[in-house]
Structure 1
Amino acid sequence: MSTTIEAPGQANELQVRTDPAGKPLAIRHDGQIWLVDPDTDTQHWFGRDAWWDTQRTAAVGSGDLVSIEFWRVQVRPGTQSALRTVTLRRNPFSTQWLLESISDADETTEEE
């Protein structure tokens, strides 16, 4: 699926390929394909949108409007390349993935 990267003051194309269960398998970012390393652990969790700040309204029965999906995966562009840690985010009812963060695999990152 296609999406945009959210970075401070910048937007780039981001595509995420997932398995049938929704787990990311590959990411196309900045003209390069980054494969998710199957030998590393992935993290998957849901956060909450500050719905009171968005002032979104929805009809009764519209579904979950506040759960934000996150995936943290280890990726590399080739078998000999160093691992990078990528955190992806998808907002409620969105088909677009956003790049929350990207760092070297050995760097520690804070939880959202």
Structure 2
Amino acid sequence: MDVRFTATGTPLAVRYDGRVRAVAAEPLHWFSRDSWWETHPTVPVGLGNVVDIENWRVQVRLGASTSALRTFQLRRNPLSEQWLLESIAGD
């Protein structure tokens, strides 16, 4: 899965299952916390932020503006560049 962002850092489109879906509504952005001590027994000094998980909830649709909206919840773990699809809702 790939996420394309605007110059200001807002999701613009999501490529999932070989198809590009355009963001069709204002996305919701928040951060949650990781229990890093459960997954990383030690963290080297200066490694960076190992706590904040970035989340986006976006409503997307395929091509035509008449296609059904689907809600994707996206997550990016600390120290990762890869976006993960947490859930999909909608038809």
TM-score for both structures, normalised by structure 2: 0.89
2:54 maps to which of 60, 69, 72 = 69
User: Over residues 20-75 of structure 1, what are the superposed CA-to-partner deviations in whole Å (9 max), with x where a residue is unaligned?
Assistant: 232110011111110001xx231100001111210243222222101000000110
Unaligned runs of 5+ in 2: none
**What residue in structure 2 maps to residue 88 of structure 1?**
74
Q: Do residues 51 (structure 1) and 52 (structure 2) align?
A: no
CA contact (8 A) 2:32 2:53 kept: yes
Unaligned runs of 5+ in 1: 1-13, 106-112
Equivalenced residue count is: 90
**What residue in structure 1 maps to residue 4 of structure 2?**
17
In percent, how many aligned pairs have the same letter?
56
Q: Do residues 29 (structure 1) and 16 (structure 2) align?
A: yes
Instruction: Tell me how far apart the structure 1 counterparts of residues 40 and 77 of structure 2 sit (CA, whole Å).
Output: 15
Rate the CA distance shift 1:56–1:26 in 2: closer, same or farther, 3 A.
farther
What is the root-mean-square deviation of aligned Cα atoms in Å?
1.4
